[in-house]
Amino acid sequence: MAERWEKLRQQLKETVLIARLQQLAGGRPVRVGDALVSELLWDGKGQIFQGMDATEFEAWTNKIHIADYLDAALHGDALLAQGVLYAQALAASLLQVGTPTRIVLSRDPDSDEVTVRFFVRRLDSPWGAEDPNDYLLEEVIQWDIDPERGSRVP
């Protein structure tokens, strides 16, 4: 496992976040009801669906498939590196909002699909597993952003 992480660490050092993902990460968050969504991902028309809470709406609206933003097909660690760099840039942007948020990067090892989403952390409305080890079928990295403590990977 240590060898796997060292390989990914080297890939991250050699990778530059593509412009489309950098722009998306720096997009302005806007409020839709009680939800916080990326202005660049929200179509401006949708509202929180009946039966859906604000956290679920955020996780659904703020989810991207990294491959959808790439000009060339990337696979394996190269694709994962773009996801990690996007999540790190997003964390820096969300830290400025002043709201406790969580970013979840997931990678399906069977399909090689990498997704990243974010949502506000609410005590009364948790979303997803608190412990990344609880995700059984995918690899997960979480970033928790707390305006008082900064950004951290739990």
Q: Which of 78, 145, 141 is nearest to 115 (CA)?
A: 141
pLDDT of residue 91: 94
Encoding tokens for residue 128? 């997803």
Q: Which of 103, 105, 111, 89 is nearest to 139 (CA)?
A: 105
Residues listed for the chain? 154
pLDDT tens-digit readout, 46-77: 677 788 888 888 999 999 999 999 988 899 89
pTM above 0.85, yes or no: yes
The alpha carbon dihedral of 115, 116, 120, 123 has a sign of positive
pLDDT of 23 above 60: yes
State the average pLDDT over residues 141-148: 85
What ranges do the domains of the chain cover? 2-152
pLDDT tens-digit readout, 87-124: 999 999 999 888 999 999 999 888 989 999 999 998 77
